[in-house]
């Protein structure tokens, strides 16, 4: 199994990165290969850091010979994807949305079809829009044909939408208790659905 984490925060060392690092560590402990993509760093080197719909169908011109291309290649290999974002004005970060819009070429290729996906969010208050962020991420995953999982697991209860935290994440124990269940579920579903994914030879 290969699990890719997407840090949707512009702060490489912030709350979202800490949560994602914790999750990736759990996945690694379960035997999965892992990689992390900081979407803000990927976008920073692009002349146009958002999708301008320059071709239809998408030819992936903006992802040739750069970090975006490397990031998309990682996603092409993914069996599971963990996506994290801070809450900005009640929804996900602009950086994450801009990056995901750049994955149009993957949709053309069906590269993420039947790939398992899970999400995490962190906000300034306990009820600061985290579930809105999770729903937005899941909608983006569904358009790619991904299989969405929440933070439920047979050993831990059915769970809810995903893993949510309050700033500062380091002192919020609620998400730390739920994260292992979500990652275990992600890895299990990724393994169980491996036969549904078709990868180029």
Section 41-46 average pLDDT: 94
The pTM assigned to this predicted structure is 0.95
Q: What is d(CA 161, CA 185) in angstroms, rounded to the nearest whole number?
A: 13
Q: What angle do CA 69, 19, 14 make, to 5 degrees?
A: 80
Confidence of residue 201 (pLDDT cuts 50, 70, 90): low
Question: Does any domain span residue 201?
Answer: no
pLDDT tens digit string along 77-100? 999 999 999 999 999 999 999 999
Are 129 and 173 in contact by the 8 Å Cβ rule? The answer is: no
Token readout for 38 is: 């900081």
Instruction: Name the residue range of residue 35's domain.
Output: 2-196
Burial annotation 87-114 (CB, 10 A radius, 16+ → b, else e): bbeebbbbbbbbbbebbbbbeebebbeb
Total domain count, the chain: 1
Question: Does any domain span residue 99?
Answer: yes
Q: Is the peptide bond before 145 cis (omega within 30 degrees of 0)?
A: no
pLDDT tens digit string along 125-168? 989 999 999 999 999 999 999 999 999 999 999 999 999 999 99
12: CATH: 3.40.50.360
């Amino acid at each position: 199994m290969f699990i890719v984490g997407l840090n949707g925060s512009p702060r490489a060392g912030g709350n979202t990165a800490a949560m994602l690092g914790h999750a990736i560590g759990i996945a690694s402990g379960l035997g999965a290969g892992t990689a992390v993509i900081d979407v803000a760093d990927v976008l920073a080197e692009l002349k146009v850091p958002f999708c301008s719909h320059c071709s239809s169908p998408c030819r992936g011109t903006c992802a040739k010979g750069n970090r975006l291309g490397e990031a998309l290649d990682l996603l092409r290999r993914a069996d599971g994807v963990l996506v994290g974002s801070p809450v900005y004005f009640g929804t996900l970060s602009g950086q994450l949305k801009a990056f995901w819009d750049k994955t149009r070429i993957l949709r053309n290729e069906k590269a993420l079809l039947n790939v398992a996906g899970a999400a995490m969010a962190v906000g300034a208050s306990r009820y600061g829009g985290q579930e809105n962020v999770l729903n937005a991420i899941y909608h983006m995953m569904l358009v790619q044909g991904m299989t969405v999982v929440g933070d439920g697991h047979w050993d831990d209860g059915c769970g809810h939408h995903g893993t949510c935290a309050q700033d500062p994440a380091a002192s919020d124990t609620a998400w730390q208790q739920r994260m292992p269940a979500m990652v275990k579920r992600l890895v299990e579903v990724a393994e169980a659905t491996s036969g549904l994914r078709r990868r180029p030879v």
